[in-house]
Structure 1
Amino acid sequence: MSKKVAKTNALRILDSKKTSYEMHEYDISDELIDGKSVCEKLGIGEEVSLKTLVAHGKGSAVYVFVVAINSELDLKKAAHVCGEKKIEMLAVKDLLATTGYIRGGCSPIGMKKVYPTFIDEQVRGFDMIYVSGGRKGLSVGIRPSDLVDVIGGNFVDIVKKD
């Protein structure tokens, strides 16, 4: 008999929209939850495992960026796609209050509010990408086009190039 997984907000939203996804749990008892260790635990490449980054512009504007863990967000490009002169990363201490998620479990799906969300265009061509399922130890495999549909995101060029 399989273990019942407590549904996170991200999973509830995917289910309610009848979106196809794969759920992958991984061990967090060793406290290694950085992107590279998650990839190793799941047996997936760093180019398809995505991190969710939250930034703010002038005033109270909040923006979400989803990029591969082996990529670095280019803040100038990110500000440009948001129509801002400058953006800054949200302080970790403000993440839970802003998104409803904690560091290491922040999903682009099911945040407290719907924020403008931008996904790096380089992941568009993959059959499956992996994002946080809404808690540490849970990852969701989803088609890039389905992720965009669920969160109302856009594919854009937002990472630093070599």
Structure 2
Amino acid sequence: MALQRAGIRHTLHAYEHDPGTDSYGLEAAQALRVPGERVFKTLVARDDSEGLLVALVPVTAQLDLKRLAAAHGSKRLAMASPADAQRATGYVVGGISPLGQKRRLPLWLDRSALDHVTVYVSAGRRGLEIELAPRDLLDLTGGRTADIARVG
């Protein structure tokens, strides 16, 4: 695992995934008994030149595509199809991890992550989360931060 090779402190948290759940991220927050603001969902968007990028926002918020486009320098973004997201990352929807993807995509982390000592992100399958420091996540992924989430 890339985290171990890099010497990054992290903790894996497993929980029983309910296949009937409506929200994988909120399920993780509830199962792990942590505030939803600390659990980040991994979303894949497509820019106007057909490139893909990854955005992480708290599970209690929505991705603001206009803010992400401005941060990324794109005119317009749209969410990637689930098939495109799975093909590009190598992970199934609901288990897409920002780490260890098939090919490294530009990554944007909502700036609110920096308010926490650690955050939770998918470990590559439904029912498994990685807890790590947001700065370590950025270092491992080459990611950047921006205000890309909106509540409600």
TM over 0.5: yes
3-state SS of 2:36 partner: coil
Q: In the alignment, which residue of structure 2 is the partner of 1:24?
A: 13
Query: Residue type matched to 2:30 in 1?
Result: E
Match of 2:113 among 123, 126, 133: 123
2: CA distance, partners of 1:19 / 1:112: 20
Q: In the alignment, which residue of structure 2 is the partner of 1:153?
A: 143
If you compute each CA radius of gyration, which structure gives the higher value, 1 or 2? 1
Change (3 A) 1:161 1:31: closer
Give 5+ residue unaligned stretches, structure 1.
1-11
1:15 aligns with 2:27: no
* 1:52-75 deviation digits (Å, cap 9, x = unpaired): 010011233111101100111111
2: CA distance, partners of 1:133 / 1:34: 13
* 1:118-147 deviation digits (Å, cap 9, x = unpaired): 100011020110000011111000011111
Match of 2:48 among 51, 54, 58: 58
Give 5+ residue unaligned stretches, structure 2.
none
Q: TM-score, normalised by structure 1?
A: 0.88
3-state SS of 1:124 partner: helix
Q: TM-score, normalised by structure 2?
A: 0.93
3-state SS of 1:64 partner: strand
Question: Hey, which bits of structure 1, 4+ residues long, moved more than 2 A?
Answer: 29-34
Match of 2:72 among 59, 82, 100: 82
Match of 2:92 among 76, 99, 102: 102
Match of 1:140 among 127, 130, 137: 130
User: C-alpha displacement at 1:113, in angstroms?
Assistant: 1.0
> What is the aligned residue count?
151
* 1:76-114 deviation digits (Å, cap 9, x = unpaired): 111111111101101012222111111111011111111
Identity of aligned residues (%): 32
